[in-house]
């Protein structure tokens, strides 16, 4: 796993996300050690020395070899190592294929950004890609293929509800201090979340939306609700997602997204593994599949944004449409303004920082912004810290150009520039996709009626929301920054 595959926000220098093998890791090398996790034992140094047959201090390594997982890395601010040998094995293509062969009920959820990437690569429409992927996965033994556009509608509804609650609380006439401050910041980007927890700490975390990302939302739906509909035990289901971003692998292994059906029962992860779009292309090539000419199969409708005429539907916005959807909803609920036209996001500093404003009687009452890439991210963070942020909502993504430009997407073809590829992806993303209101999605309405009750309910908070934690930096990391 090379470091450039993760988002730039996870690779910037002052995060210490990539360290040389000789620098200290906070996880102890000794398997049975009782040393605290803040120990500065040079685990990576010894690990690499063991791989080369030499100890870090020139003596043979006598301890048992150990592996550093993504959970270890996510739990500290020391390193996310770039060595393939320490990549979490459960996040590999081999592990995915292995679980199919083990006879588990394998379910795959595909992101719309990944579909767009494959559609551009093969010269197909996103709908054709989805139908061909259904053929491919089911030929391998996958039980069902779902659509994270569907779970994204669920996250958008919960996000709309959360924003209205925050807005009303912040503008309340009572003297009670709001514990849900504005601006509300989107939480779907794990690169941004990891950076916020490791580097920004507790002062920024209250601003971040508690709603899970579409990846984790569909995982929660599958493991807590769909399993029962299919008469399956959650522990017997292996759920993989196809995502445009390597950072999604980090998100999937968070302890916050693990639950137990029974107090002493087996720990169950919402998402068992994440395959990037590039890894899915590797699978297609590994199986020698003629993808362009592959048969198209009917789509599974259980968790799928597919209307009665067979068209895909979704929202504006290639990074999830959070700002677009919440802005429209807030304008309607708070100010009685129903907006049916496309929103006019104006470029402010650069193409990755754009904002939209609602004016009522000449006064700007709502101001939302799209903020992509680390440079813009730093600017808004500084404004929030200084109490000078003028926006009520920020759609933050770690990657410039947003999710379509994720590190896990298929790379440009020879002679094709990155800019040209992004333009092709943005055009392809909504090709033959009907724009639809998430609140009118019959699948999501069914989930609320059968399971979640209503937006913001106790059940919704339990399954659709999460919390974020400031990560205390290791001594090694602090000294290195100093």
Domains of the chain: 3-87 (no CATH), 91-150+213-312+440-464 (3.40.50.1780), 153-211+315-438 (3.40.950.10)
Please tell me the pTM assigned to this model.
0.84
Residue 360: CB atoms within 10 Å: 13
Question: What would the 3-class secondary structure string for 76-125 be?
Answer: CCCCCCCCHHHCCHHHCHHHHHHHHHCCCEEEEEECHHHHHHHHHHHCCC
- The per-residue pLDDT for range 313-351, each reduced to its tens digit, is 999 999 999 999 999 999 999 999 999 999 999 999 899
Q: What is the pLDDT of residue 103?
A: 82
Distance (Å, whole) CA 465 – CA 263: 20
pLDDT score of 328: 98
CB 181 within 8 A of CB 205: no
**Sites in the chain below the pLDDT cut of 70:** 1-90, 173, 175-178, 473-482
CA distance 164 to 161: 5
Q: Which pLDDT belongs to residue 396?
A: 97
pLDDT given for residue 239 in this prediction:
97
Whether a cis peptide bond, with omega within 30° of 0, leads into 183 is yes
Predicted local distance difference test score (pLDDT) of residue 387: 92
């Amino acid at each position: 796993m090379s470091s450039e595959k993760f988002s730039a926000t996870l690779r910037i220098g002052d995060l210490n996300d990539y360290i040389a093998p000789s620098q200290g890791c906070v996880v102890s090398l000794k398997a049975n050690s009782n040393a605290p996790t803040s120990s500065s034992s040079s685990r990576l140094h010894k690990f690499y020395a063991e791989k080369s047959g030499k100890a870090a201090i020139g003596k043979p390594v006598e301890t048992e070899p150990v592996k550093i997982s993504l959970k270890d890395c996510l739990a500290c601010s020391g390193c996310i190592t770039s060595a393939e040998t320490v990549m979490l094995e459960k996040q590999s293509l081999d592990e995915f294929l292995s679980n199919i062969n083990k006879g588990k009920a394998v379910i795959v959820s595909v992101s719309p950004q990944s579909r767009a990437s494959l559609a551009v690569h093969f010269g197909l429409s996103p709908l054709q890609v989805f139908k061909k992927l259904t053929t491919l996965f089911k030929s391998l033994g996958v039980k069902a293929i779902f659509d994270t556009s569907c779970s994204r509608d669920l996250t958008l509804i919960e996000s709309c509800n959360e924003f209205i609650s925050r807005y009303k609380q912040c503008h309340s006439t009572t003297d009670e201090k709001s514990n849900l401050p504005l601006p509300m910041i989107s939480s779907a980007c794990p690169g941004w979340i990891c950076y916020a927890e490791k580097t920004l700490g507790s002062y920024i975390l209250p601003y971040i939306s508690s709603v899970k990302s579409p990846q984790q939302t569909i995982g929660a739906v599958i493991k807590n609700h769909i399993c029962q509909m299919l008469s399956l035990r959650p522990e017997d289901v292996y759920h993989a997602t196809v995502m445009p971003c390597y950072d999604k692998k980090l998100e999937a292994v968070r302890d916050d997204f693990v639950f137990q059906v029974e107090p002493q029962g087996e720990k169950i992860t919402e998402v068992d593994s994440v395959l990037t779009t590039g890894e899915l292309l590797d699978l297609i090539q590994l199986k020698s599949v003629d993808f362009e000419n592959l048969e198209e199969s009917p789509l599974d409708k259980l968790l799928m944004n597919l209307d009665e005429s067979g068209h895909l539907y979704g929202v504006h916005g290639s990074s999830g449409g959070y700002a677009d959807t919440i802005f429209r909803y807030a304008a309607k609920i708070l100010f009685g303004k129903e907006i049916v036209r496309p929103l006019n996001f104006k470029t402010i500093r650069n193409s990755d920082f754009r904002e939209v404003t609602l004016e009522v009687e000449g006064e700007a009452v709502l101001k939302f912004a799209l903020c992509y890439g680390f440079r813009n991210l730093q600017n808004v963070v500084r404004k929030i810290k200084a109490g000078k942020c003028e926006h009520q909502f920020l759609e933050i993504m770690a990657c410039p150009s947003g999710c379509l430009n994720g590190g896990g997407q298929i790379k440009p073809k020879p002679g094709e520039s990155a800019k040209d590829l992004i333009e092709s992806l943005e055009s392809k993303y909504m090709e033959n996709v009907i724009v639809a209101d998430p609140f009118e999605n019959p699948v999501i309405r069914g989930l609320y009626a059968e399971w979640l009750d209503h937006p913001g309910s106790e059940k919704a908070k339990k399954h659709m929301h999460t919390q974020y934690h400031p990560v205390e930096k290791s001594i090694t990391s602090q000294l290195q920054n100093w």
